[in-house]
Amino acid sequence: MAINIDIDPAAKDKVNFPPNFIDQVPNNEHWNRKTRIKWTILFFIGILLVYSVRTSMSICTAAVAKDLGWNKQISGMALSAFFCGYLLTNMLGGYLADHHGGEIVIFYSSIVWSLLTIALPLVAHSNFLFYSGTSAVLICRFFTGVSQGVFFPSFVSLISRHVAVAERSVVSSAAYSGSAIGTVSTGFIGSIMVDNLGWESVFIVNGSLSFIWVIVFRYFVSSFNIKKNKEPQLVVKDSVPWIRLLKCPPIWGLLIAYFASGMCFYNLLSWTPIYFHDAFPESKGWIFNVVPWLLNFILTNIAGYFANVLLVSGTSVTVVRKLYASMLFLGVCISSLLLNTVETFRQALFVMSLNIGFMSFTSSSLMLNSQDLAPKHAGVLHGLMNGCGAFAGFIGIYITGFILETTGHWSAVFVLTSVVSLIGFFAFILFGSGERLV
């Protein structure tokens, strides 16, 4: 079957694809430009809602803690419960997506996490099914994480099969920038809703919108398959060569780097609202929950565009991935240390915005690296690395809660983030690669 890569032929010859990449792509056609745009918009909205649901607890933690009588350690448990469940299903999601199709996995799992989000405030105030409201919240967030754990490995599996390597940075960055908008919208609108309608409204609205998206997603997938008017898409049937993969230094470089970025990112995602509440109690939630993630959204799309420019101009995939990873880790390292020097809310907002902004370079570096190294098994490999990132998030969020509960100071938290990001930098610079392994 001929493979249609929707880029300029002259430019295609200049791109340093991994050896035999074009010949070894799974037997599926790449999406044309029009179809690629439709799928990108659909996933942009989907990822927006994924992060709206994910960050709902971060926005509402202070209000829920007051309502249910939590201390900092229990708040940390509530934030990390999601990631405890999330890390369990990443590899499973990637495997199922590679072998049965990411569309199916995303559809069924999204039904679960959207309904659980709607149910959380209802069970939190009921002792009918659970021993206490705290238990209900922890269990709901755990299974929300379990069901969301398959989303991104399935997304990556689809992108790996249907989007040419030179276009992946743009598609992935554009779709993944929905994470910033989801965080911004939940931070801005959610903060207003918490103040005026109660924290319960945030979960009910986000869950309901997510369920509507699931219905639209199912309709779109069905329509797309009918218009294709052909046999169902072929999926990978080969077994994953784990022994061969785990002997390769680039795999370990990616796993360590993603572990580090996961700890940094999920700590920022979960604890930033609480940091501003503690350090600057008079500050407005709609400001510190919006500005940093708005910058992240802008930089994510700019980064994706210039990564595509670099690839088409002939820069190797390895150089592009390492360049962006360096900006990610060194930027987070420096800005985390600077947070210990701020004295005013404006200074803190500026530095925190830079910190979260630097995280945008993940989408054009580590996020795409599983597709570079093993395109036929991108889903399951992404599941492995995303599981490492989620595990790091689970550990980091809990450690942060423990540090704050025992010391009451944020300085140690920021130093820890800086050290972890430095470890991620050296791991990927020394061992990372953009060349195909299998």
* Predicted pLDDT of residue 238: 67
From CA 177, how far away is CA 185, in angstroms rounded? Answer: 13
Q: Say how many C-beta atoms besides its own lie within 10 A of residue 196's C-beta.
A: 8
Residue 290 lies in a domain: yes
Residue 133 lies in a domain: yes
At 229, give phi and psi (nearest 5°): 50, 55
Residue pair 286/180 in contact (Cβ under 8 Å)? The answer is: no
Domain count, the chain: 2
Residue 24 lies in a domain: no
Collapse the DSSP code of 149 into the 3-class scheme (helix H, G, I; strand E, B; otherwise coil) and give the result.
coil
At 189, give phi and psi (nearest 5°): -70, -40
From CA 207, how far away is CA 52, in angstroms rounded? Answer: 9
From CA 148, how far away is CA 206, in angstroms rounded? Answer: 14
Structural domain range at position 125? 33-223
Structure tokens belonging to residue 77: 């448990």
Q: What pLDDT, in 10s, does the model give residues 351-403?
A: 999 999 999 999 889 988 988 898 888 888 888 998 888 888 878 888 888 89
From CA 139, how far away is CA 357, in angstroms rounded? Answer: 32
Residue 213 lies in a domain: yes
Collapse the DSSP code of 237 into the 3-class scheme (helix H, G, I; strand E, B; otherwise coil) and give the result.
coil
User: Which of the residues in the chain have pLDDT under 50?
Assistant: 1-28, 229-232, 234
Note the pTM of the prediction, 2 decimals.
0.77
* Predicted pLDDT of residue 18: 43
Residue 43 lies in a domain: yes
Q: How far is CA 347 from the centre of its chain?
A: 27
| Pair 318, 419 in one domain | yes
Residue 91 lies in a domain: yes
* Predicted pLDDT of residue 8: 47
Residue pair 305/174 in contact (Cβ under 8 Å)? The answer is: no
